[in-house]
């Protein structure tokens, strides 16, 4: 799994990529993190893919427009459901390990 540093944190925390959910140009990447007491939790980050018609350059942005609102809502719901599903599995696994 790919390891990512969470930015904006005073301590170096690590998170692992789990999955992506998408609706058109809007996507949410789901990650698993770990609390200080060792419990797993899942969260997501939203992004928008874009392509320049002038230069054909492609990329991703964390900036959105009004026209993205419906897709953002759908992707957020899908990502939240995925996180809940994964959190339920993590809790079950941790209870079985105890």
Q: Assess contact for 11 and 35: CB atoms under 8 A.
A: no
Per-residue confidence (pLDDT) for residue 15, from 0 to 100: 76
Q: Sorting pLDDT into bands at 50, 70 and 90, what band is 89?
A: confident
Does this model's pTM top 0.85? Answer: no
Query: In degrees to the nearest 10, what's the CA dihedral of 2, 34, 27, 59?
Result: -50
For residue 22, the enclosing domain spans: 3-97
State the total domains in the chain: 1
pLDDT in tens, 9-42: 445 466 799 999 999 999 999 999 999 998 999 9
Q: Sorting pLDDT into bands at 50, 70 and 90, what band is 96?
A: low
């Amino acid at each position: 799994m790919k390891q990512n540093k969470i930015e904006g944190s005073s301590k170096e925390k690590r998170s692992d990529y789990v999955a992506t959910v998408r609706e058109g140009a809007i996507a949410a990447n789901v990650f698993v993190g770990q609390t200080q007491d060792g419990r797993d939790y899942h969260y997501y980050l939203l992004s928008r893919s874009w392509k320049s018609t002038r230069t054909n350059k492609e990329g991703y942005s964390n900036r959105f427009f009004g026209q993205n609102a419906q897709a953002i809502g759908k992707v957020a719901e899908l990502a939240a459901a995925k996180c809940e599903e994964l959190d339920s599995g993590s809790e079950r696994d941790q209870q079985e390990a105890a």
